[in-house]
Amino acid sequence: MSEACIGERDGRSKPVESRTMAGPSVTTIKRLFAVASNRCAFPGCTIPLVEPATREILAEICHIKGVRGPRHDPSITEDELHAFDNLILLCGVHHKIIDGVKSQFTVPQLVAMKAAHEASATPVAEPTDAVVTQILAQHAAIHAELAASARASLEILQQQIRDQRMERAGPVIAFIDDELRTVRRWLIWCEDSSFLAPILGAQPPVLLSSAETALQQSTRVSPEAYQNLSAAVERIRIFDGIIAEVRDWHRKDSSLYQWKDNTELYLSSIRNARDFLVETEQLLVQARQQLMS
The model's pLDDT over 32-82, given as tens digits with 9 standing for 90+, comes to 988 888 899 999 998 998 888 888 888 888 999 987 767 888 888 888 989
- What's the CATH number for 163-292? 1.20.120
pLDDT at residue 18 above 70? Answer: no
pLDDT at residue 109 above 60? Answer: yes
Residue 278, pLDDT score: 92
Q: How confident is the model at residue 261 (pLDDT cuts 50, 70, 90)?
A: low
Residue 209, pLDDT score: 65
The model's pLDDT over 206-244, given as tens digits with 9 standing for 90+, comes to 666 678 888 888 888 888 999 999 999 899 888 888 888
Contact yes or no for 56/50 (Cβ under 8 A): yes
Name the residue with higher pLDDT: 226 or 11.
Answer: 226
Of the candidates 104, 108, 124, 125, the one whose C-alpha atom is nearest the C-alpha of residue 116 is 108
- Please give the model's pTM, rounded to 2 decimal places: 0.45
Mean pLDDT, residues 75-101 = 89
> Sign of dihedral through CA atoms 288, 291, 292, 293?
positive
Q: What is the mean pLDDT of the chain?
A: 78
The residues spanned by each domain of the chain are 3-127, 163-292
Rounded to an integer, what distance in angstroms lies between the CA atom of residue 147 and that of residue 78? 16
Residue 185, pLDDT score: 82
